[in-house]
Structure 1
Amino acid sequence: MPARIALLLSGLLLGLQADAQEAAGRRVLGADRGRLSIVDGQGKVEWEMPIKGQVHDLQVLPDGNILTHTGAATVVELNPAKEIVWSYTSRPKPGYDGPIEVHAVQRLDDGLTMIAESGNKRIIEVNRSGEIVHSLDLKVQKPNSHRDTRLVRKLPNGHYLVCQELDGAVNEYAPDGSIVWSYKLDLDGRPATSGHGGHGAEVFGALRLASGNTLIATGNGNRVIEVDPAGKVVWSVGQNELPGIRLQWVTSLAVRPNGNIVFGNTHAGPENPQLIEVTRDKKVVWTLKDFKTFGNDLAAAVVLDAPTASK
């Protein structure tokens, strides 16, 4: 075999091996069926513990601890030994006596913990002593203690990117509470239908990309979209665009260092994967379809073997 052909074949083989490694199983931390679970690339449970309520947000901290929420309104930090090493329970603010639900938590670089409080319609930052260091009131058009917010992230510029589920809007708030950018979801030309299997404009998650664009998991909008600062959709994955996969309630979002996008596909039924990784040209390179450990409500999940490129 001529040396040049052998070299080409060798390069092709290495490329195929790299693709195979890229498509191999991922370690995943997920919350469903009343427990937190870590599964390896073959679906074997490595670690597991019970947790109350439906979990919508998870963060793995640099020391390996897990930040999440349990019950309706309690944020907990758990260590690998399954011990609670820190907690904070949100309570009604003055002038409000209704229920509180927490759907978003984030440990910030300064050590404070950001908590989004539905019902209270606010974002707070608390220290290790449980003192509220900063508070920001949200502008909510359709108040609902279960649906004021879903995922919220503090941005490097100090602003907050807030998914207001029932309002169907992603709003960027400055620290003084003013809205400096907003994107209102639409029905994408389809009629609204009710239920977890339906179609709507009830947003779940959003990430601000390094480009300045915003990646949005549209909840029951059944798709992932990327919008530019002017609100133009510049990239999307539709409900039936991926071969053999139907998107339903699109939830968690992460961007891998190589630019691939990982997103959650909740309430889609056992015939569809719960997590999907796609390239920018919409090639599916990995999916999680595990209805043994997880179920149809896997709204919070983190791929552990790859840090995300955006917060």
Structure 2
Amino acid sequence: MQPRGAVVSLLVLAVLAGTLVGPAAGGTVSGPGAATPAAIQENTTVANPCVGRLERVPNGTTVVSIQGIAFDGGRYVKRPALAVGFGPRGGFEYAYNATARGRFWAYDVDPLPSGELLLTSTEPGVAIAETLDPATGERVRVERFAREPNVTSATDIDRLPNGKLLVADATPGSEGLLVYDPRSGAVDWNWSFERDGEFPRAGGGPYPRDWVHVNDVDRVGRGRYLASARNFDQVLVVNRSTGAVDLRLGRDDAVRTLHYPSNPQLLRTADGRPAILVADGRNDRVVEYTHTPGASEPSSPGGENWTLTWELVGGGLNEPRDADRLPNGNTLVVDRRGHRVLEVTPAGRVVWEVYAPWQPYDAERVALGDEPGGPAAASFAANRSVTLTDSAAFDQGQVGDCAAAILEFAPTQEERLLGAFGVNASDGEGVTPGAGARSGLRALAFGGAAVVLVAVGAFYALRE
């Protein structure tokens, strides 16, 4: 028998998903070439209200996952979970409406070498890894963690070079990291935060519901996995062979170093020392620390053995949750409650910016692969602490216009998985979304009036 909260969540999700299924919104693809794989064209023929500062035009698409949550007077309200491809000039290229397909949250998104996307999402009580192909608009495969292992919530699922899946398991009562082989259906390796010894039940968040809040994992070497333990204010590298923590930044409640860190990236200085770039959410900043054994005291800003070598502050940053160093030395930042994705120079100047409502979660430059990395801040000529400047600084009304444009573009019908503009760019068959095509918005508005979700009970409200 299912717990009452799970049953309520299932009913609410069913209603929400049903209201989202309606006449297709703008961005439909027509013509004989629409069903064939082709390069996706950016929609630049209609002014896009999601485009902010645009000084630099990057190479290719930036894909952004949107968790699907809003705040209304301090309350949590459910909104569509999405994955959106933004072109170099900020125009929409494609969009996946995960909520219309029965998903609840959308988390990490990874570009794969094949050109496909791996999206981590959830249904009530089940973690999901789904592979999408933007070129064809098809869902290639879906892996549901409903049996063994039963992972009810995973904030990040990465595909390893051998095809196995590395999972940040946020299941209450069994939070940890695991490697799963989809071919055999077996767990190859499992590491538990509780067994580590540095994560007491009395620390972090309330045990077990939101205790560690692991929210990211990445392979950073053979058998070495980087993870963030958000509620314990730390980042760590776990050694698969020994089960030991090889590297640890921060400690529980040492909020001067980190306070609710998310989505770290491991970099290397010119002399080979590790450096960690991470979104420092509750401190409203992005920071980078360089490992300096014996050179810093426990009372230093980075704690013992770490030196703060770069921080991005100010400029309206509001709980950033992702930061990736790019090969050109700039940093791609997801500003969660600032509703935006920014490319920022080492000096803090915004050179590329798009807005995304309902808490953007992760962003990747597709052409560069999953978190390609770049130079560590120790090589920057900039100051250690820089202020974010030159953002368009949209107000809530402008962010609302951006939300309406995304919903108009994202499909709501099951027969087309992805909304895409100009899938056959050479044939010019892409249909530009028109200002009058509001059917998708009407469906959502009806759903909002019927089932405006305030927190979906405490069970989902804080699952991020």
Conserved 8 A contact 1:123-1:136: yes
Q: Is 1:309 aligned to 2:372, yes or no?
A: yes
| Counterparts of 2:341 and 2:208, CA distance in 1 | 28
Residue in 1 that maps onto 2:227:
162
| Counterparts of 2:182 and 2:119, CA distance in 1 | 15
What are the residue-to-residue correspondences of 1:73-222 with 2, within 5 Å?
73-80=127-134, 81-91=136-146, 100-119=152-171, 120-129=174-183, 130-138=185-193, 139=196, 140-141=199-200, 142=204, 143-146=207-210, 148-175=213-240, 176-184=242-250, 186-188=254-256, 201-211=259-269, 212-222=274-284
Deviation at 1:217, TM superposition (A): 1.1
Opposite residue 189 of structure 2, the aligned amino acid is: H
1:279 is aligned, of 334, 339, 345, to: 345
SS of 2:231's equivalent in the other structure is coil
| Counterparts of 1:151 and 1:85, CA distance in 2 | 23
Deviation at 1:137, TM superposition (A): 1.8
Closer, same or farther: CA 285–21 of 1 in aligned 2, 3 Å: closer
| Counterparts of 1:144 and 1:218, CA distance in 2 | 23
| Counterparts of 2:358 and 2:216, CA distance in 1 | 19
Higher relative contact order (CA 8 A, sep 6+): 2
| Counterparts of 1:91 and 1:148, CA distance in 2 | 20
| Counterparts of 2:105 and 2:229, CA distance in 1 | 18
Deviation at 1:261, TM superposition (A): 1.0
Conserved 8 A contact 1:118-1:144: no
| Counterparts of 1:283 and 1:36, CA distance in 2 | 26
SS of 1:232's equivalent in the other structure is strand
SS of 2:107's equivalent in the other structure is coil
Conserved 8 A contact 2:176-2:214: no
Conserved 8 A contact 2:286-2:323: no
Deviation at 1:207, TM superposition (A): 0.7
Residue in 2 that maps onto 1:232:
307
Q: What stretches of structure 1 of length at least 5 have no aligned partner?
A: 1-19, 190-199
Closer, same or farther: CA 45–278 of 1 in aligned 2, 3 Å: closer
- For residues 31-52 of structure 1, the C-alpha deviation after alignment (integer angstroms, 9 at most, x for no partner) is 2232222122343322122212
What are the residue-to-residue correspondences of 1:64-79 with 2, within 5 Å?
64-72=115-123, 73-79=127-133
Closer, same or farther: CA 128–22 of 1 in aligned 2, 3 Å: farther
How many pairs are equivalent?
266
Deviation at 1:310, TM superposition (A): 2.5
Q: TM-score, normalised by structure 1?
A: 0.76
Larger radius of gyration: 2
CA RMSD of aligned residues (A): 2.7
Identity of paired residues, percent?
17
Q: TM-score, normalised by structure 2?
A: 0.52
